[in-house]
Structure 1
C-alpha cells in the first residue's frame, strides 16, 4: 500500500461518517439543545432535564424492538392499546391484592400474549401487519373500555411507584437507566448477532432470505412478541409514574413511537436502519417537546410538529432518490 493510499482511505472514512444520518441527527440535536438553552432559563437545570426524560422514556423503550420490526418490513400500530390492556390487567390484579412482582409479571405476560396474537395472525394468514394491528389496536383498547368504562384503578402498592418515579442515582431515574441498558442490548442484538443479520436479510429481500434457509415467519413472530413484551414493560413504567389506570392511557402513542423510529433513519420500506439512530432521534424528540413545553406551546401544536417531522423524514429520502435519478439521466 502506498503512502498516498492511507490518507485517501482516512478521508473516505471521515466522509462516510460525516454523511451518515446519525451525524445529521446529532447536529440537529445540538442546535435544538443550544436554542433551548437561550430560550428558557430553566432548561439547563439538571432536575428539569431529568424530568424531561419521563416524557419519552416509555415510548423510547418500545421504539427499540419496533425499529427491528420495521427493518423486517412489518409494523405494530397496536402498541399503545397493548399498554392500556396491560395496565388494566395490573389494576385488576392490584385490586385482588397481588404484590408488585406479580403486577410486573402480569403486564409483561399480557404484552407477550398480545404480540404473539398479532404475530400469529400476520404470519399465519399472510395479512399485512398494518391491517392486522390497526384491528387489534381497536380490539385491545375496546377491551379496556369494556372493563373500566369511565372508571379508574388507583389502588397500587406503595413500592410499585419506584418503577416510574424512583431514581437510581442523583438525577438519573430508574426509567432512564433502564432505557439506556435496553438500548445497549438491542444495539448488540441488531448489529452484532446472527439474529440481527437475519433481520436485515429479511428486510432487504424476504424471498431470498427464505430460500437461504432463514425461517422468515418464525423470525417475524419473535419480533412481534418482543414488541409486545416491551409494551407490557412500558405499561409498568407508565402506570407506576401516573399512579393510576384509565382506559385512555397512552392514547395515540403509536404515532410518536413510529416517528422516533423513522426519524432515527429506519427505512419504512425495511432493510435499513440502526439502533444508534433511533436513540439519537429519541433524545432529539425529547429535546424538542421539552423545549416547547417550557415555552408554553400547546400540546396540539406539538402534535402538528411531530406529524410534520414524520412526513418530512419519510419524504426526504424519496425526494433525494428522485433528484439523484434525474441527475444520472441528465449526465
Structure 2
C-alpha cells in the first residue's frame, strides 16, 4: 500500500506533469510543424537551453531559500565584454580568459550576497539594482562595439557536437553539473538546510544552520555560473557585446518557477526545473519554426511565468481536497 501511494504521489506531482507536457509538446510539434523531428531542431534546442540551465541550477537553490537573483543576465553580459576587452589586449589563452571570467562572476555574485547578508537588504531590490549596474558597466567596457575575431577552433569547439550526434558536447557539462547540484540539494544536509531556510529562516538559524553564510555562497556560485554561461554565449555567437543575454533573466526565472519551485521558498525539485528548461526550449524553437512573431513568443513566456506561479498552487489545492474526500478505513 505504501509503495502504491508513493507511486501515485510521484505520478501526480508537478514534475511528472512537466515531463508529460514535454512528451506531449514533442509529439504534437512533430506532427504539426515541419522540422521539429529533425536532428537540427534538437541541436538548436540544446544550444539555447545550455546557458539557461547553467544559470538556473544554482539559482534554483537561491529561490528555494526564499531569495532571488535578477542580475544574472547582466553578469553574463559584463562577462562577455570583459572577455572581449581582454582579447583586444592580446590575452589569447582560453584557460586564462575562462579563469578570469569565472573569478569576475564570483566577485559580482559576492557583491549581491554581501548586500543581502551583511546589510540585510531584500535580494529582489539588490539584484534589480545590480541588474542595471552590471549592464551599465558592460557598456562602459565595450560601448557599442562588438569583438568577433575569435579563433574558429574556439567558436566551433564550444558548439561542437558529441561524436555521432548533433547535440553539442557542452550539454554533458550541464548534465554533470545538474547531477552535482541535484545531489547537494536532495541528498545532503546542505540541501535539507536550504529547504529549512526557505520555510523559516529564523527556525533554521536556531537549529545551527549558518543561514547568512550559506546564502552568500549561493550568490557567489550563481555569479560564477552566469559568467560560465557568458563565456559559452560569446563563443557560440562568436561575438562579445554589451547587450549579450539581455532579458535572459526572464527565461531563467520562468524555468525555475514553471519547474515547481515556490517563489516564496521552501519547495521545489531540480528535476522539475530541468524539465521546464527543456519544455520552454522546445516551445520557443517550435514556434519559431511556425513563424510565430518574436513579440508573441514574449507574451507566451510571460503567460507561462504566470502559470508557473498559479499552477503548482492549484495542483496542491486539488490534491489536498482529494485527500480530504478520500474515506479513511478504520
Same fold by TM-score greater than 0.5 = yes
What does residue 162 of structure 2 align with? 168
Q: Secondary structure at the match of 2:309?
A: helix
Q: Secondary structure at the match of 2:230?
A: helix
Match of 1:148 among 142, 153, 162: 142
Structure 2 distance, partners of 1:328, 1:42, is: 44
What does residue 96 of structure 1 align with? 89
Structure 2 distance, partners of 1:132, 1:18, is: 39
Match of 1:232 among 227, 240, 247: 227
CA displacement at 1:105 relative to structure 2: 1.0
Structure 1 distance, partners of 2:179, 2:286, is: 27
2:255 is the counterpart of 1:255: no
2:202 is the counterpart of 1:211: no
CA displacement at 1:329 relative to structure 2: 12
Match of 2:13 among 20, 23, 29: 20
What does residue 183 of structure 2 align with? 188
Could you list the per-position Cα deviations for residues 278-297 of structure 1 after superposition, in whole angstroms to 9, with x for gaps in the alignment? 11111111111111011011
Could you list the per-position Cα deviations for residues 206-235 of structure 1 after superposition, in whole angstroms to 9, with x for gaps in the alignment? 001111111100000010011001001000
2:130 is the counterpart of 1:136: yes
Structure 2 distance, partners of 1:53, 1:300, is: 22
CA displacement at 1:49 relative to structure 2: 1.3
CA displacement at 1:108 relative to structure 2: 0.8
2:59 is the counterpart of 1:59: no
Q: Secondary structure at the match of 2:213?
A: helix
Q: 1:321 to 1:34 in 2, by over 3 A?
A: closer
Q: 1:296 to 1:274 in 2, by over 3 A?
A: same
Q: 1:210 to 1:288 in 2, by over 3 A?
A: same
What does residue 5 of structure 1 align with? none
Query: Unpaired runs of 5+ in structure 1?
Result: 1-7
What does residue 99 of structure 2 align with? 105
Could you list the per-position Cα deviations for residues 236-290 of structure 1 after superposition, in whole angstroms to 9, with x for gaps in the alignment? 1100001011111100100100000011111110001111111111111111111
Match of 1:33 among 20, 26, 31: 26
CA displacement at 1:316 relative to structure 2: 2.8
Q: 1:152 to 1:183 in 2, by over 3 A?
A: same
Structure 1 distance, partners of 2:253, 2:17, is: 19
Q: Secondary structure at the match of 1:250?
A: coil
2:35 is the counterpart of 1:42: yes
Structure 2 distance, partners of 1:95, 1:158, is: 16
Structure 1 distance, partners of 2:162, 2:28, is: 29
Q: TM-score, normalised by structure 1?
A: 0.93
CA RMSD of aligned residues (A): 2.0
2:77 is the counterpart of 1:70: no
Structure 2 distance, partners of 1:206, 1:108, is: 29
Q: Quick check: 2:42–2:167 contact (8 Å CA) kept in 1? A: no
What does residue 159 of structure 1 align with? 153
Query: Unpaired runs of 5+ in structure 2?
Result: 326-330
Q: Which moved more, 1:47-56 or 1:158-167?
A: 158-167
How many aligned positions are there?
323
CA displacement at 1:164 relative to structure 2: 3.1
